[in-house]
């Protein structure tokens, strides 16, 4: 399943979650950026598949909550392959980078 067909960020989802409040959107996105960076570090540093899976699920929920569709899909794909000791996190890192760059560039 390719994640490139999905939008980077669904502004309608973000508006629904923030009830259209522009100030709240800025605050939610700021918290999201901090949370995604923290979760990615925890996923990279996880010593076992269970911890990695828990962090991936937290990332999926955070991404879906604000409409970061591509990131949620990339994390979901990695989650299905968490059993290996060293899963390939390259697609996840790319999706995180792409999403955060989009947020910084557009101010979503």
- Averages of pLDDT over runs of 10 residues in the chain (108 residues) are 71 91 93 96 91 94 95 90 75 94 85
pTM, two decimals, is 0.86
**Predicted pLDDT at 5:** 73
Q: How many domains does the chain have?
A: 1
Smallest CA-to-CA distance from 11 within 76, 67, 64 is with 67
* H or E stretch covering 3: none
Dihedral class, residue 67 (left if φ above 0, else alpha if ψ from -120 to 50, else beta): left
6 domain residue, yes or no: no
Smallest CA-to-CA distance from 82 within 47, 50, 34, 44 is with 50
**Predicted pLDDT at 2:** 47
60 domain residue, yes or no: yes
**Predicted pLDDT at 1:** 43
**Predicted pLDDT at 22:** 92
Q: Which domain holds residue 73?
A: 11-106
């Amino acid at each position: 399943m390719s994640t490139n067909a999905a939008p980077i960020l669904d502004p309608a989802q973000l508006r629904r979650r923030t009830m259209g409040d522009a100030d709240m959107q800025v605050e939610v996105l700021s918290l999201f950026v901090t949370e995604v960076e923290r979760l990615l570090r925890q996923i990279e540093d996880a010593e076992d598949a269970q911890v990695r899976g828990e962090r991936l699920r937290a990332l999926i929920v955070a991404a879906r909550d604000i409409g970061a569709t591509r990131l949620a899909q990339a994390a979901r794909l990695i989650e299905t392959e968490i059993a290996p000791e060293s899963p390939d996190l390259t697609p996840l890192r790319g999706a995180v980078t792409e999403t955060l760059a989009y947020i910084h560039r557009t101010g979503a």
